[in-house]
Amino acid sequence: MLWHPAPFLLLALFLVPTPGLDNKSLLGLPPLCPTKALFHLPCPGCGMSRSLVCCAHGELVRAFWLHPLGPVFFGLLIGAVVLRFFPRLQPSPKLLRVSSWVLIVLMLLLWVTRLLGWLPKPP
């Protein structure tokens, strides 16, 4: 049986405390996004780590505010853990491919709407 990172990632999300009240950092660390550091613009995934940690702690509204797709990816992570233990439930490769492209398009659309100011940028 091959090692799978999903259970360990899920455990880490539960162990990391939620972001501070300013919503700007995890564990007091500075933002690690190179796009934001170099260009002062949010990347398509900005806020995703903080959103996933908030999901793990049950703060779904805050998670959605940090990154609207965070709860979706958290659900997919839980699904990956479940599928790891129940391999007969594996979806078809075509479904995985299509859903991956849908998520990529949604991430890019969200990014563009944030850049245009139609949605708030993450703190």
- Predicted confidence (pLDDT) per residue in 34-54, tens digit: 888 888 888 899 889 889 999
pLDDT at 6 (0 to 100): 82
Q: In angstroms, rounded to a whole number, what is the distance separating the alpha carbons of residues 38 and 48?
A: 19
Does residue 32 sit within a domain?
A: no
Closest CA to 35 of 18, 23, 47: 47
| 1: pLDDT strictly greater than 60 | no
| 18: pLDDT strictly greater than 90 | no
Say which DSSP state 67 is in.
-
Does residue 69 sit within a domain?
A: yes
Does residue 21 sit within a domain?
A: no
pTM: 0.84
Does residue 35 sit within a domain?
A: no
Confidence of residue 2 (pLDDT cuts 50, 70, 90): low
Which is more confident, 89 or 110?
110
Q: In angstroms, rounded to a whole number, what is the distance separating the alpha carbons of residues 19 and 27?
A: 7
Overall average pLDDT of the 16-42 stretch = 79
Q: Are 48 and 54 in contact (CB under 8 A)?
A: no
Does residue 33 sit within a domain?
A: no
Does residue 26 sit within a domain?
A: no
Does residue 122 sit within a domain?
A: no
Does residue 91 sit within a domain?
A: yes
pLDDT digits (tens, 9 = 90+) for 54-97: 999 999 999 999 999 999 999 999 998 888 888 888 888 899 89
**How many distinct structural domains can be found in the chain?**
1
Segments forming the whole domain that contains residue 78: 7-14+41-115
Confidence of residue 19 (pLDDT cuts 50, 70, 90): confident
